[in-house]
Structure 1
Amino acid sequence: MVTLKEDNMLRNWILALLFVLFGSPAYADAPPLRDATRGELLYSTHCITCHSAKVHWRDKKLVTDWTSLRAEVRRWQEVSGLGWGDDDITEVARHLNALYYHYPKPD
């Protein structure tokens, strides 16, 4: 004969197993997480420790358009010795442009 304690324990194990297999119902309607872009990953890995949002909105900013944004990304990756290629520089510039600057990009 199964005791009440054993019955409750079995029910808890089944609920835990269902939770693990199917997740929490609270997350069922949550939007899927987006994948980070290469530019975002490079920036967050190599630049974010020194750059906060404040550096992108200071009064004496050097970035005034898409071309100067790419030039500053190129300059700072050289100063940091990162050795990024043109594609990486463009990806980081795209990330910063989408996040902070919103300059029109040439095709």
Structure 2
Amino acid sequence: MKFFYASAVFVLTLGSSQAADIDNGDDLHFTNCTGCHDDSVYTRENRRVSSLPRLGAQVRFCKDSLGLTWFEDEVEDVIGYLNQTYYHF
């Protein structure tokens, strides 16, 4: 049963990221994320993100750490942008 729920969460996350506004994600990322780090955190060999759910968790962690007031669709836009540009999950 746990596998079913984990699979359902993964599929729902995947579906919502595919519908993301990539251009908006790019803008949000550039405005809010590049002040702390460059794109090397996404391309380094030992990167901490290894799956789409972990990417979502990391984006949400960064959003909360910075005190950003993004709506969920904006979070999904950034996830979609990062996935399309760097991760390709």
TM-score normalized by the length of structure 1: 0.59
Gaps of 5+ in 1: 1-35
Q: Which sits farther off after the overlay, 90-99 or 58-67? A: 58-67
Question: Identity, % of aligned pairs?
Answer: 34
Separation of aligned partners in 2, 1:99 and 1:59? 16
Alpha-carbon distance in 1 for matches of 2:69, 2:46: 27
TM-score by length of 2: 0.69
Please provide the CA RMSD for this pair. Answer: 1.4
Q: Aligned match of 1:41 in 6, 14, 27?
A: 27
Alignment correspondent of 1:99: 85
CA shift for structure 1 position 61? 1.9
For residue 90 of structure 1, report the CA deviation from its aligned partner.
0.6
Query: Where has structure 1 moved over 6 Å in runs of 4 or more?
Result: none
1:82 corresponds to 2:68: yes
2:65 partner amino acid: V
Structure 2: stretches of 5+ with no match in the other structure: 1-21
Task: Quote the Cα distance in structure 1 between the aligned partners of 2:48 and 2:41.
Answer: 10
Per-residue CA shift, 1:55-84, capped at 9, x if unaligned?
112343221111110110000000000021
How many correspondences in the alignment?
A: 68
